[in-house]
Structure 1
Amino acid sequence: MNRLQGRTAVVTGGGSGIGLASAKRFIDEGAFVYIFGRRQAALDAALATLGDKARAVRGSVDDLADLDTLYDTVRAERGQLDILLANAGTGAFAALGAITPEHYDQIFDVNVKGLLFTVQKGLPLMRAGGSIILTGSTTGVMGTPQFSVYSATKAAVRNFARSWAQDLRGTGIRVNVLSPGPTRTDLALEVVGTEAFEAMGATTPLGRLGDPAETAGAAAFLASDDSSFMTGSELFVDGGMAQI
């Protein structure tokens, strides 16, 4: 399939996990992809996998100067942007009573502030027909013990899409949320722990963890014209976890 032929994409958090899988799928469908992330070693390893249809820019979404560097590079080399997957995120556990300002700031700075300015700074490069995809989570609609701050950031992401769909009226640019459930990524296994995460996957109606490639398939759908009448929506790829 070549649904994304000739298009330019940016994927934040593109060095691993769902971001890397999505970058690969976008390339397989014809796009040129810029991956953006903090760890140079991960970016280098990702480029070795993605090949010559990818370019890496190192930086963090919570650093506005880094975002300027990213979009200056896209502007100079490609001139425009068709797909933006705002995927970078972080999370950690802390129960009510043990939440610190540092815990709150770290997670909100990346997941909310970082995502907001990732989109706002990329918007001038986007043209009619462009697709903005925000990575949400099942936690945005579910109560999760010890995970309230992270969950609140994902609820904020969901409302960003609803509100921005209104702000983008008349531009031809769409914005939707892609919400994975328990998916086998290095970050998730690190935060939750392998055994606990496997047990979580077993509780889904499909009885297993998701694979990043499965979420990437849904990202390609939202990036393509196949979803041309979707905006302000949330698409779950969660094995049914948040649906029952």
Structure 2
Amino acid sequence: DLDALTAAIHNRHGHLDVLFANAGIAAFQPTLDITEAEFDHVVDTNFKGVFFTIQKTLPLLTDHAAIVINASWALHRGVPGASLYSATKAAVHNLAQTLAAELAPKGIRVNSVSPGYIETPSYRDNVSAEAQAAAVAAVAAGRLGTSENVADAVAFLASDEASYINGQDLLVDGGLIAAIPERMV
């Protein structure tokens, strides 16, 4: 699929200026319960998919292009039952740092974004109302984020306004990691 995608991009546009590598599936269970098949599935999607998407599209990236990788707030904080998910998101952020150094001579910047709780159809369908309320209570902004909040952060990191930002992770989490809401103190 990646070969077909890169061929289609090359045939239609000839190059890429921006790549947003966004892949991820949630996997939340105690470490003792993770099977090798589950491990392979999550790592294949969350890390391997991102890695090879970037690798296959590198020849299409122009000098001074930008790559933004979708990580997660979970790489910044220990979360019970999230060892596998968090490890894959830490891996993609480390990939961003490593590629930032490797691709710097071409002027290609590589960063990651780490969304917090984002209200998506999948989130609504898979997270109980009680857990959603608890998530909102933990966010300093007092609400869940939106896909548009993440898209705005990605657009910023891809823009010339972020031309001196490289190898960084931008939290898009409403203050989940950095601030304890007053209502929780």
Same fold (TM over 0.5): yes
**2:37 alignment partner, one of 73, 97, 102:** 102
Residue 159 (structure 1) aligns with: 94
Tell whether 2:112 aligns with 1:177.
yes
The amino acid across from 1:213 in the alignment is E
Question: TM-score, structure 2 length as denominator?
Answer: 0.92
Unaligned runs of 5+ in 1: 1-65
CA distance in 2, matches of 1:202, 1:212: 19
CA distance in 1, matches of 2:83, 2:129: 21
The amino acid across from 2:28 in the alignment is F
Higher relative contact order (CA 8 A, sep 6+): 2
**1:197 alignment partner, one of 119, 123, 132:** 132
Residue 127 (structure 1) aligns with: 62
Secondary structure of 2:164 counterpart: coil
Secondary structure of 2:95 counterpart: helix
**1:145 alignment partner, one of 71, 80, 87:** 80
Residue 177 (structure 2) aligns with: 242
The amino acid across from 1:236 in the alignment is L
The amino acid across from 1:146 in the alignment is G
The amino acid across from 1:154 in the alignment is K
Secondary structure of 1:88 counterpart: coil
Across the two proteins, how many residue pairs are aligned to each other?
A: 179
CA distance in 2, matches of 1:191, 1:101: 23
Tell whether 2:23 aligns with 1:81.
no
Residue 28 (structure 1) aligns with: none
Secondary structure of 1:160 counterpart: helix
CA distance in 1, matches of 2:33, 2:169: 31
Q: Which moved more, 1:79-88 or 1:185-194?
A: 185-194
CA distance in 2, matches of 1:187, 1:197: 12
Question: TM-score, structure 1 length as denominator?
Answer: 0.71
4+ runs of 1 displaced by more than 4 Å?
none
The amino acid across from 2:43 in the alignment is F
The amino acid across from 1:175 in the alignment is V
CA distance in 2, matches of 1:185, 1:135: 15
CA distance in 1, matches of 2:58, 2:136: 36
When the two chains are superposed, the root-mean-square deviation of aligned CA atoms in Å is 1.2
CA distance in 1, matches of 2:126, 2:90: 19
Work out the percentage of aligned pairs sharing the same amino acid: 44
CA shift digits 1:191-213 (9 cap, x unpaired) = 43343123212211111111111
CA shift digits 1:121-145 (9 cap, x unpaired) = 1010001121100001100111111
Would you tell me which structure has more helix in proportion to its own residues?
2
